[in-house]
Structure 1
Amino acid sequence: MTSLTAKPSACPIDHGALAGLKTPTGCPVSRKAAEFDPFEDAYQQDPPEYVRWSREQEPVFYSPKLRYWVVTRYDDIKAIFRDNLTFSPSIALEKITPTGEEANQVLASYNYAMNRTLVNEDEPAHMARRRVLMAPFTPEALKEHEPMVREAARAYVDRFIDDGRADLVDQMLWEVPLTIALHFLGVPEEDMDTLRQYSIAHTVNTWGRPKPEEQVAVAHAVGNFWQLAGKILEKMRRDPSGPGWMKYGIRKQAEHPDVVTDSYLHSMMMAGIVAAHETTANATANALKLLLQHPSAWREICDDPSLIPNAVEECLRHNGSVAAWRRLATKDVKVGGIDIPAGAKLLIVMSSANHDERHFEDPDLFDIRRDNSSDHLTFGYGAHQCMGKNLARMELQIFLEELTKRLPHMRLCEQKFTYVPNTSFRGPEHLWVEWDPAQNPERRDPRLLDTVHPVRIGEPSRHAISRTMIVESATRLPGDVLRLRLKSPDGRPVPRWTPGAHIDIECGDSGLSRQYSLCGDPDDARTLEIAVLRDPDSRGGSRWLHENLKAGDKVKVRGPRNHFRFDEGAQKVILIAGGIGITPIGAMARRARQLGIDYELHYSGRSRACMAYLDELRQLHGERLQVHASDEGGRCDFAALLGRPQAGVQIYACGPVRMLEALEQCCAGWPEDALRVEHFHSTRGTLDPSKEQPFEVELKDSGITLQVPADQTLLAALRGANIDVQSDCGEGLCGSCEVRVLSGQVDHRDVVLTRAERDANSKMMACCSRAACGKLVLEL
């Protein structure tokens, strides 16, 4: 088989493999491509495994059975989603299997006229409509639905909690999302069983392969669904006041009649009922099946509900409810090096992309702590990314919380999982579970039902994945410093880290978390070590740790992560620490010593008596350690130390703000990025609206332009527009909210980026930095 990398513009298959079988471009079809059939049970059971051969050998191929080009790798699919002009969404709701004349006549008899929705609308109509109708989907607007979602989930669990056995799909996971969908849309609750049958019929009609004898029955169900959607819409028109997205759309039609049209509203009423509940019902069934097939992961989220948001993302990645989507090539184009002709139809298999080892390490492993789970493409990407993604996330989190809290002893029954054959939507038709009602925790502690954990609406931060650790020891050091050694509760190795890394510790139940540099030995796989200075002006972090933690206690830890990396290829390093800043600097000195790098270590403090780790540092570094104690008149003379730039020398510093500012002045003449610093606090991102300027930001991938007012951060503006952006500290300290800049000048206010990175102007921290000009263009 010809290598795709060797000849990127050539056919990737053996031209002699299948004589006579050609693609529309004349290129022969490989045997695997000729056999590809997404309606086979193997595809329904495990789409990523079914197309593994494609990801590995032939990531873009033509399927003669389907008459579509099939794309299976992450980067190719994300690039297709990015460019919705070249790759039109117009065929997303087109029947993938043409039906016979009799079925078509049945649909016509119902005046079926499913037209453009937000899913399959081209530009410029799509984005204009999306902007007008987006507000109810923002995280802030979704919060009002949380109590209703909890109430519905609990009510359905109440129905079977004492039975010991249930089909979760039939008894909860279909009806609850449908109830929530109708509530969100503002639709009065109709006959659930009828709507379920209509919804399945719509899926089969659009994405399935109904047999000739089934097509007429499916057409009648779809036609009745269409007429029901019209009747509901007309009823709403008579009184469009009150809550509900469809009523909101009717009210917006009065303001924007050319954007929110009659045909759109009727089509969206029908499509919305399906989209708002079927994908969530399937996603929850997939997630529960997956978690119960991995009992250790299920136990972890039962014991620690804070893991649920990231578990949801990993479930969506590993076994999502939307397996594939469709696009139409509007011009000749290359995808993955393969020529795709104008007019070609593409099946883009997101479930395969979510298992692409080029993007996800060990992708077949189910890991609820995976730090890039939320990079999955299950919700799509760019301008057509699913608007209801955060409503789905909320429902999934609440369903998992309710079931893990009330049925932690639940297990899967022996069963064969079946799926409705179609290319795109997948979830088991039944999910049988069992448990011993006598062990229901609420029988022992009724107060359990009062416990509610916060829902993380919006994409969770990849740095918000916590793990429980045990305090192995808590030791007092000079200078009112608490030395904490933390270990895994199960004795497993602690996460690996490198000098300069830090962890976040959750300080009690207040939701407060603080960052602390790791300062032990990176080669110690048993423990993580931090040292915490008691701050008299503490907002609750250091004070809580000093007053509450003792050996044997449990703490929640996030990380490690590192934005203060030590360059192990340096010729020589000068290491400078002030006070508790010795924590990351000491780890760097240890590493320099191990590697044989030429180094010197300068440690400043008020007095030797209050300088933590001093004796250990003397023993380890000897004459390379220089102590500068203020009470001895031993202040470090930065001008003398750094007055003359030295080629090949790197300076690492951590300590009080005044010390770091003085260092920056002394190093102004040094080579670019010779000085690298770690900050404890930052006020650079503090907004003073009276001094700020508003600016405009264009989101290239999403097709949206936002105005960022003087009193708002870029991060807040992005989230207000329902754009997923990671974040953590909110102060420009951690680097988690980094976004890519395509054009425009940035006013950098973080303390993460180096001087060279700022000058390159290719990225910025959304939580604090702003535009130094009138407009920025971002890759979002």
Structure 2
Amino acid sequence: MAEAAEFTSPGGCPVSPQAAAFDAFEGPYQVDPADALRWSRDQEPVFYSPKLGYWVVSRYDDIKAVFRDNILFSPCNALEKVTPFSDEAMAVLKSYDYAMNRTMVNEDEPAHMERRRALMEHFIPANLEPRQEMVRRLTREKMDAFIDDGRADLVARMLYEVPLTVALEFLGVPPDDQETLKRFSVAHTVNTWGRPTPEQQVEVAHSVGKFWRYAGEVLDKMRAEPDGPGWMHYAIRRNAEIPEVVTDSYLHSMMMAIIVAAHETTALASTNMFKLLLTHRDAWADICADPSLIPNAVEESLRYAGSIVAWRRQTTAPATVGGVDLPEGAKLMIVMASANRDTRQFENADSFDIYRDSAIDHLSFGYGSHQCMGKNIARMEMRIFLEEMSRRLPHLRLSEQEFSYLPNTSFRGPEALWVEWDPSRNPERAAPALRDRQLHFPVGAPQRKDIARPVRVAALRQEAEGVLGVTLEDTRGRPLPDWSAGAHVELCLDGYERKYSLCGRDGRYEVAILREEAGRGGSRHFHEALREGAELKLRGPSNLFKLDETAPHHVLVAGGIGITPILAMADRLKALGKPYELHYAGRSRASMAFLDRLQADHGAALRLYPKSEGARADLAAIVDALPEGARLHVCGPERMISALEDRTRHLPEGTLRFEHFAADAPALDPAVERPFEVELADSGFSVAVPADTTLLEALRVAGVDLPSDCCEGLCGSCEVSVLDGAVDHRDKVLTRAERAANRRMMACCSRARDGKRLRLAL
């Protein structure tokens, strides 16, 4: 093999040794794709792989940007064979009249959006709800057959066949020959995403050809009963209504493609989920004790080990991704498994945490106009699998085994999953009614309000006048998840939910709560109700105020209780040996929290401005003294942030980063609000937003998975891009310049100005 230095990308640039060594079919990528690309996320987030012939993209923001623009980054190669077939294999396919056409997965606009709109109705959450009972019935039947055996391969006994049966029933196809379908599906995966040998290519080609013929035969049977149930019958009726959109050739191709898409990915994802949870016994035990955790456990499993590892795109013009210039026609492999473990997006990304309230941000279903239409079917099945298994077999454990995977670039899940248990300990032997108990989880993404971990107050202390210091620990004695400077948590107690920045770490969390007599009552309640040993719930950690550790110099400015995230930033910069200065203003020394700690740990960098002593921070001088490339991080009252916005208007974008510690936007008042409509450009739908509903709420009802956190316009996690229309901005995130540009809005609080129409990039 040539030396790494001899490889060049299609543009002629040298390929790094790590990029040249990357192999998507062997070695680390096949063991753990996310870990195998850690070096890429950290050093070379977009690189050319000579062995693969693709540009590999590994970071979350870059992959999301590629998904978002389906014009510049065409899906045309999504189903293209990674390994081209030999002439002999192609001849085999031809002998079966194989003529697979483009489907919604790999077709361009405007055809894609026209078909998606025409065929989307069956995938809406409200229309999927009635199918939950069928999934539960199938799951129970499979479990009944092995529950007294004490040992089973979950893939063979349940996790393959149930998703296949659900897929066939959803399509309206009778499940006549499941083993044949299984062989066909595996062949289709190897055909498209694998690297079969020349001999294997011929064998695979025969299986794919038979699959093609089988799909055609089934389709002919279904055409004879156009009024039958299921999505394919619906598509056949739409074919009769709008043949120019839902074409004959499209039906045959979709018949074959969706059998694979609708069941194999769910089967693999479910297998990954059980392997993860039975490996992380604490998580399994928590779910058995509290089934309300199940929806988010599914999302975290999809984030940490989803079944769709990578997808593909091709540039239609010269493009730039992650600062790398790509030529027209460049083929991209976008690795969602790597994006889902990107520390720039997820706090403590390498940890599996079923309490992670940002798990829904994963890209395992894709993003944008090509996001998986069947995502909510997969969620529904995985939740029911987990609910039934954890209730009926809480003592389940993994058997000793070697896991095997089908080598390919894009799909991942064990081919078998052996588990064991003691049948004499099955709970339903003592309580037969346990078999028929069930919970109902609404179809769709989980709600953040349902995700919280139990914590205990380990210590209380007075940090300053009116400031209560609180140390929190896990109720079960486990270390709490790690976090990065600027992160916050949300405390939940007696109906009060409030966010507080983290300011200390040792496996426990430290927060400081300012008692606000004129506030909404939350801080007063925490001051009065918290006692050492008291238990409460906690969400997070989340970080929407990240420290830019790459900057050459940092200036940190805090006002009052805004010192909490700023203190954590100072601690981090000191640990890194980075130059920084810290400016802290308050009413008096007695009211300023953490003074002793600040003076002991950051004395050389610290500047104090107690108002009672006549000291006042000269914000203009602070800004004027900023070194080139410096970052200014500020947390404090509105007037301080507003003044710094004015002073930094002439500086490069990104110089100033700020976080408010209070919201002052009024609650939604239906009596004065006006309804409006939004057009979702990427999805091709329109959504009505009533006067008593936020944009965020209306989008979720429509099945759009939009992340959110505070729902008060403080955090920025529900940001959407605005393509057209005037926005009534009510957030505390955007700068004045960003509001004036009218390109972004926060869905939780902002609305259309004067009730007019908005067009959004969703």
Short-chain TM bin: 0.7 to 0.9
Query: Structure 1 residues 101, 733: CA separation in 2 closer, same or farther (over 3 Å shift)?
Result: closer
Question: Per-residue displacement from partner, 1:24-61 (whole Å, max 9, x unpaired)?
Answer: 33444444444433222543222223344443444333
Residue from 45, 54, 75 that aligns with 2:61: 75
Aligned to 1:250: 236
Residue from 100, 117, 134 that aligns with 1:148: 134
Aligned to 1:685: 668
Q: Does 1:398 align with 2:398?
A: no
Residue from 665, 668, 678 that aligns with 1:696: 678
Partners in 2 of 1:95 and 1:646 — Cα distance? 63
Partners in 2 of 1:172 and 1:317 — Cα distance? 23
Residue from 277, 288, 295 that aligns with 1:309: 295
Query: Structure 1 residues 46, 620: CA separation in 2 closer, same or farther (over 3 Å shift)?
Result: closer
Aligned to 2:703: 722
Q: Does 1:764 align with 2:745?
A: yes
Aligned to 1:706: 686
Q: Which amino acid aligns with 2:180?
A: T
Alignment of 1:213-612 (within 5 A): 213-455=199-441, 457-461=443-447, 464-469=450-455, 488-491=474-477, 503=490, 505=492, 514-516=496-498, 556-559=537-540, 599-600=586-587
Moved more, 62-71 or 190-199: 62-71
Aligned to 1:635: none
Question: Per-residue displacement from partner, 1:418-466 (whole Å, max 9, x unpaired)?
Answer: 1112221111111111111122222333343344334253333456421
Q: Which amino acid aligns with 1:685?
A: L
Q: In structure 1, the residue corresponding to 2:400 is in which secondary structure?
A: coil
8 Å contact 2:266–2:378 — kept in the other structure? yes
Query: Structure 1 residues 41, 172: CA separation in 2 closer, same or farther (over 3 Å shift)?
Result: farther
Aligned to 1:139: 125
Aligned to 2:150: 164
Partners in 2 of 1:44 and 1:500 — Cα distance? 33
Aligned-pair identity in percent equals 54
8 Å contact 2:308–2:337 — kept in the other structure? yes
Aligned to 2:188: 202
State the 1:587 CA deviation. Answer: 9.8
Residue from 186, 189, 195 that aligns with 2:175: 189
Q: Which amino acid aligns with 1:186?
A: G
Question: Per-residue displacement from partner, 1:273-296 (whole Å, max 9, x unpaired)?
Answer: 100100010111112112222222
Partners in 2 of 1:327 and 1:520 — Cα distance? 40
Partners in 1 of 2:55 and 2:562 — Cα distance? 54
Partners in 2 of 1:113 and 1:157 — Cα distance? 40
Q: Does 1:105 align with 2:87?
A: no
Query: Structure 1 residues 250, 514: CA separation in 2 closer, same or farther (over 3 Å shift)?
Result: farther
State the 1:760 CA deviation. Answer: 6.8
Question: Per-residue displacement from partner, 1:554-608 (whole Å, max 9, x unpaired)?
Answer: 654435779999xx9668x6x8xxxxxxxx99999x99xxx9955449xxxxxxx
Query: Structure 1 residues 500, 180: CA separation in 2 closer, same or farther (over 3 Å shift)?
Result: closer
Q: In structure 1, the residue corresponding to 2:175 is in which secondary structure?
A: coil
State the 1:272 CA deviation. Answer: 0.5
Q: Which amino acid aligns with 1:421?
A: P
State the 1:303 CA deviation. Answer: 2.4
Partners in 1 of 2:488 and 2:334 — Cα distance? 39
Larger Rg: 1
Partners in 2 of 1:107 and 1:716 — Cα distance? 49
Partners in 2 of 1:494 and 1:23 — Cα distance? 44
State the 1:185 CA deviation. Answer: 1.7
Question: Per-residue displacement from partner, 1:668-721 (whole Å, max 9, x unpaired)?
Answer: x99989999988998642335x9624333344xx25352435456423442344
Q: Which amino acid aligns with 1:279?
A: T
Partners in 1 of 2:47 and 2:665 — Cα distance? 51
Query: Structure 1 residues 596, 34: CA separation in 2 closer, same or farther (over 3 Å shift)?
Result: closer
Q: Does 1:778 align with 2:756?
A: no
Partners in 1 of 2:740 and 2:701 — Cα distance? 29
Aligned residues: 686
8 Å contact 1:685–1:732 — kept in the other structure? no
Residue from 98, 105, 111 that aligns with 1:125: 111
Aligned to 2:466: none
State the 1:485 CA deviation. Answer: 10
Question: Per-residue displacement from partner, 1:487-527 (whole Å, max 9, x unpaired)?
Answer: 632245778999997745376xxxxx542577999899588
Partners in 2 of 1:27 and 1:677 — Cα distance? 45
Aligned to 2:653: none
Partners in 1 of 2:411 and 2:592 — Cα distance? 64
Q: In structure 1, the residue corresponding to 2:222 is in which secondary structure?
A: helix
Q: Which amino acid aligns with 2:367?
A: Y
Aligned to 1:84: 70
Partners in 1 of 2:184 and 2:593 — Cα distance? 76
TM-score, normalised to structure 1's length?
Answer: 0.74
Question: Per-residue displacement from partner, 1:182-223 (whole Å, max 9, x unpaired)?
Answer: 122222222111111111111111112222222333222212
Q: Which amino acid aligns with 1:347?
A: M
Q: Which amino acid aligns with 2:707?
A: Q
State the 1:90 CA deviation. Answer: 1.1
Residue from 726, 733, 747 that aligns with 2:728: 747
Query: Structure 1 residues 242, 713: CA separation in 2 closer, same or farther (over 3 Å shift)?
Result: farther
State the 1:772 CA deviation. Answer: 0.6
Partners in 2 of 1:393 and 1:552 — Cα distance? 37
8 Å contact 1:317–1:376 — kept in the other structure? yes
Q: Which amino acid aligns with 1:708?
A: A
8 Å contact 1:519–1:531 — kept in the other structure? no
Query: Structure 1 residues 237, 531: CA separation in 2 closer, same or farther (over 3 Å shift)?
Result: farther
Partners in 2 of 1:321 and 1:28 — Cα distance? 33
Aligned to 2:26: 40
State the 1:88 CA deviation. Answer: 1.5
Structure 2 gap ranges (5+):
461-468, 547-554, 569-581, 596-611, 621-636, 648-657
State the 1:121 CA deviation. Answer: 0.4
Q: Which amino acid aligns with 2:343?
A: E
CA RMSD of aligned residues (A): 4.8
State the 1:255 CA deviation. Answer: 3.1
Structure 1 gap ranges (5+):
1-14, 475-482, 508-512, 576-583, 602-615, 622-640, 650-662
Partners in 1 of 2:40 and 2:731 — Cα distance? 43
Q: Which amino acid aligns with 1:389?
A: K
Alignment of 1:619-634 (within 5 A): none
Partners in 2 of 1:703 and 1:762 — Cα distance? 18
8 Å contact 1:673–1:754 — kept in the other structure? no
